Amino acid sequence: MSVPTHPPSVPLAIDDLTVAYNEKPVLWDIDLDIPEGKLVGIVGPNGAGKSTLIKACLDLVPRASGRVMVYGESYKKQRGKVGYVPQRESVDWDFPVSALDVVAMGTYGKIGWCKPVGRKYKKLAMESLDRVGLADFAHRQISQLSGGQQQRVFLARALAQDAQLYFMDEPFAAVDAATERAIVTLLHELKDQGKTCLVVHHDLATVNEYFDWVILLNMRVVKAGPTDEVFTAEYLKSTYGGTLSALSKVGDALKQTKGAIK
Amino acid sequence: MNVDAWMDFEIWDVLFLKNYNTRLVVLSTFFLGISSGLAGSFLLLRKRSLMSDTLSHACLPGIGLMFIVVTLLGGNGKSLPLLLMGATVTGLLGVLLVTAIRNTSRIKDDAAMGIVLSVFFGLGIVMLSLAQTMGGAAAGLESFIYGKTASMVGKDLEYLMWITVVTVILCVALQKEFSLICFDENFARSLAWPVHFLDMLMMGLMVGVTVVGLQAVGLILIVAFMIIPAASARFWTEKYRLMWMLAGAIGGLSGWVGASVSAILPRMPAGAVIVLVSGVVFVFSMFFGASRGVCKIKSRQIHMRRKIGRQHFLRAVYEILDAQQTGGNFTVSIQDLLEKRSWSRKQLQKHISRAKREDHIETVAGNRIQLSEAGYAEAARYTRNHRLWELYLIRFADVATRHVDRDADHVEHVLGPEIVRQLEEELDTTLHGMTPPESPHCIVTEGSI
């Protein structure tokens, strides 16, 4: 099999990616080429592997097979070009830090080992907070922020990373209208700067409005492409429809055979 | 010499560290307190406090085994460096085993720690029993279980000073790295920080502190040294740097005071007294902590209740005046106020006297009250804010309003001037300055906020 090459202008290229937890495949043979400067929505039902796809790209979960290239190189070499917004629930917001401290974490990679956060990076963190409309809340302890504000703190942290390619895990989950507007504005700002954003998204009603590109995911890529071509009733049906349990059945069968051989 | 004079002499000696032995013990526990307070802060924030309990119990078989091996080889089985080395090896093994059990099976952390802790401790007891059969030299080994400050030597103090220096240096140098992996491990990993290595460093610190502190407080109580100072410090601050420093200070102080007390009171084991002292500090912090102590939280609640009460009272007066359509600050009858809300005469009297104290009321004459100029302005502001909030809730009913601070004094600050203007326009009210818009609902009966 020939190994496909990807030009460095492709922000994210995924070949034959398979991820499995406990021998149960979560993602099957994912092949994707994400064009530059697009807002890409990752859409699919619960358990479709949306978050896992992001985490596999970021080397946060082990890959059973496959390759992920960021601007033509492996993720390891290109980390500086990638920004990450994890799910808000993934951390304990009772941690004794201020909003500014959290945002400054986005600059740690540039600061390097053992050095304190200098004035330059504090300023960068402050600017990032300002871009999400939270400059007034910089010194608040993070548990005192509302859910939407916490989400914006995470976005500001990713902005402080100053990346080319952003992975965002459900930034729109359970946020207020002000935050939703702030995020949309921000996404367009990023796009105007030529940056690429992959956003895990739950709300089908807003997909058309927010994204230029859509990946319909349900353990495999059902369809990926420009929103107006891909986001159709037919494809959605095959993403969310009943026949999809077939794949998980295959997974179960595999597991059973393996158990029998043992 | 009478008893009092003896006591005075003794206390004097202890406080000024006159006696070599006292000096050794007090300084040792002081340094142990500082280093374990600092290291414990990371563990607390990383939610791994109990790991140190597993570790300390897992040290015991190492001590017994090292004694047996060295004695059999003809060496000095009670050499402190060798015993501590043995403790380190099995301690680390215990910690790794917990990680291995957690990663390879479906057994959760707490169960894995319980298993490793008890099995290693049992193994340690067996080792010690075996060691006893090898002759009298093994007699002092149990002191590692309960701690025996009397058996501490200059080497202990030396080790403790070193580990304190190392801990302080690591804490200062790696504070941003440690706080990052404690707060958001995945993000740290995506930034290419070696989370595993940093974790190992953190665990290494814990191992170092625990092992050299074993002799002082014993393996059963040392977990208290790791957890209590850090947990106490958390009640005082919301800043992690301050929390670390406080934890170190609380640990050091508890060690100093506890060791001194145990030196003054004969036959009081230092380890236990130190833990009791830090327990007292913890209880005090829990109640009086400046940031999240029980009293602070209670007083915040009382403050909040008063604020809401004041708002209700002033708004009630304003709405009565508003209904009279006289357009200005006139007297209001207490009877009207009573009917306005579901409050008793007594409650209302309380509000009135508080408002008087706060200079919101100008006069109370018979059955009528009149607001002061400041009180009237406040009342107008509260009413305006309240009504704008109501409009906001009606207008943006689909919005998750629980995310916004409803109690904000300045609505425009929370909603932004644009939304406020939009709300004002939407109700088609011509507003001049602070005049509130009309209430969107009938305001005669109103029971809740």
In A, which residues are within 8 Å of B178 by CB distance? Answer: none
C-alpha distances out from residue B255 to A157, B8, B82, B210, B249, Å: 40, 22, 26, 14, 10
CA distance A95 to A78: 30
For residue B443, the model assigns a pLDDT of 45
Residues of B in contact with A166 (CB under 8 A): none
pLDDT at A245 over 60: no
A155 vs B contacts (CB less than 8 Å): none
Distances (CA, A) of B247 to B167, B176, B253, B278: 13, 17, 10, 11
Rounded to two decimals, the ipTM of the complex is 0.87
| A28 min Cα distance to partner chain B (Å) | 23
How would you class A249 by CB atoms within 10 Å of its CB: exposed for 0-12, middle for 13-18, buried for 19 or more?
Answer: exposed
Q: Which residues of A touch B169 (CB under 8 A)?
A: none
A102 vs B contacts (CB less than 8 Å): 183
Q: Report the residue from A79, A117, A178 with minimal CB separation from B176.
A: A117
- What are the chain B neighbours of A149 within 8 Å (beta carbons)? 403
| pLDDT recorded at residue A3 | 56
Contact between chains at B187 and A95 (C-beta distance less than 8 A): no
Using a CB–CB cut-off of 8 Å, the residues of B that contact A are 45, 47, 173-177, 179-180, 182-184, 186-187, 189-193, 234, 237-240, 243, 396, 398-405, 416
Q: Between chains, do A76 and B400 touch, taking CB under 8 Å as contact? A: no
A185 vs B: CB within 8 A: no
Say yes or no to pLDDT of A260 above 50. Answer: no
Residues in chain A: 262
Q: Which of B186, B195, B239 to mutate to test the interface with A (most CBs of A within 10 A)?
A: B186
> Is A139 part of the contact surface with chain B (CB cutoff 8 Å)?
no
Angstroms from A100 CA to nearest CA on chain B? 12
Global confidence as pTM = 0.82
Closest residue by Cα to residue B317 from B297, B302, B299, B336: B336
Identify all chain B residues contacting A60, using CB atoms and an 8 Å cutoff.
186, 189-190
Query: Model confidence at A123, in pLDDT bands (50, 70, 90)?
Result: very high
pLDDT above 80 (res A140): yes
Above 60 in pLDDT, residue A1?
no
Q: Is B289 exposed, middle or buried (0-12, 13-18, 19+ CB in 10 A)?
A: buried
Q: What is the mean predicted confidence (pLDDT) over A225-241?
A: 85
pLDDT band at A146 (very low <50, low <70, confident <90, very high): confident
Chain A residues in contact with B396 (beta carbon < 8 A): 177
The answer, for A245 touching chain B at a CB cutoff of 8 Å, is no
Name the residue among B174, B182, B183 with its Cβ closest to that of A114.
Answer: B174
Q: Which residue of A has its CA nearest to B106?
A: A22
Q: Which residues of B390-406 are buried (b: 16+ CB within 10 A; e: fewer)?
A: ebbeebbeeebeebbee
Query: Closest approach of chain A CAs to the CA of B192, in angstroms?
Result: 7
Asked if B399's CB is within 8 angstroms of A177's CB, the reply is yes
Of residues B187, B189, B400, nearest to A105 (C-beta): B187
Average pLDDT over residues A133-141: 89
Q: What is the pLDDT of residue B310?
A: 87
What secondary structure, in 3-state letters, does chain B show?
CCHHHHHHHHHHHHHCCCCHHHHHHHHHHHHHHHHHHHHHHHHHHCCCCCHHHHHHHHHHHHHHHHHHHHHHCCCCCCCHHHHHHHHHHHHHHHHHHHHHHHHHCCCCHHHHHHHHHHHHHHHHHHHHHHHHCCCHHHHHHHHHHHCCHHHCCHHHHHHHHHHHHHHHHHHHHCHHHHHHHHHCHHHHHHCCCCHHHHHHHHHHHHHHHHHHHHHHHCCCCHHHHHHHHHHHHHCCCCCHHHHHHHHHHHHHHHHHHHHHHHHHCCCCCHHHHHHHHHHHHHHHHHHHCCCCCHHHHHHHHHHHHHHHHHHHHHHHHHHHHHHHCCCCCCCEEHHHHHHHCCCCHHHHHHHHHHHHHCCCEEEEECCEEEECHHHHHHHHHHHHHHHHHHHHHHHCCCCCHHHCCCCCCCHHHHHHHHHHHHHHHHCCCCCCCCCCCCCCCCCCCCCCC
Q: What's the rounded Cα separation, in Å, for the pair B225 and B41?
A: 11
**Which positions in chain B touch A175 (Cβ < 8 Å)?**
400, 403
Q: Does B399 contact A91 at a Cβ distance shorter than 8 Å? A: no
In B, which residues are within 8 Å of A116 by CB distance? Answer: 175-176
Which one of B191, B242, B404 makes the best mutation probe of the A interface by having the most chain A beta carbons within 10 Å?
B191
Q: What is the pLDDT of residue A110?
A: 87
pLDDT for A120 equals 93
Tell if the CB–CB gap between B396 and A177 is shorter than 8 Å: yes
In terms of CA atoms, which chain A residue is nearest residue B105? A22
The answer to whether the CB atoms of B192 and A147 lie below 8 A apart is: no
Predicted confidence at residue A84, as pLDDT, reads: 94
Domains of chain B: 3-292 (1.10.3470.10), 299-431 (1.10.10.10)
Looking at beta carbons, which residues of chain B come within 8 Å of A161?
Answer: 191
CB contact under 8 A, A108 and B177: yes
Task: Give A245 to chain B, closest Cα distance, Å.
Answer: 26
Give chain B's end-to-end CA distance (angstroms, integer). Answer: 73
Place of tokens 């009504």: B387
> What CA–CA distance (Å, rounded) separates A96 from A62?
31
* Closest to A251 measured CA to CA, from A24, A4, A76: A24
pLDDT cut 70: percent of chain A above it = 90
Residue B403: which of A82, A105, A176 has the nearest Cβ?
A: A176
B47 contacts on A by Cβ (under 8 Å) = 92
Using an 8 Å CB-CB cutoff, list chain A residues near B402. 146
Q: How many CB atoms lie within 10 A of CB B11?
A: 13
- Closest-CA distance, B234 to chain A, in angstroms, reads 8
Answer yes or no: is pLDDT of A240 > 60: yes
**Closest approach of A25 to chain B, Cα-based (Å):** 18
Q: What is the mean pLDDT of each run of 10 residues along chain B (449 residues)?
A: 55 75 90 95 90 93 92 86 93 92 88 94 93 78 82 87 95 92 92 90 91 87 92 94 95 93 84 93 95 92 86 87 79 86 86 88 83 88 77 62 48 64 64 51 43
CB spacing of A108 vs B191 below 8 angstroms: yes
Q: Do B240 and A176 touch (CB under 8 A)?
A: no
Q: Which of B258, B236, B24 is nearest to B150 (CA)?
A: B24
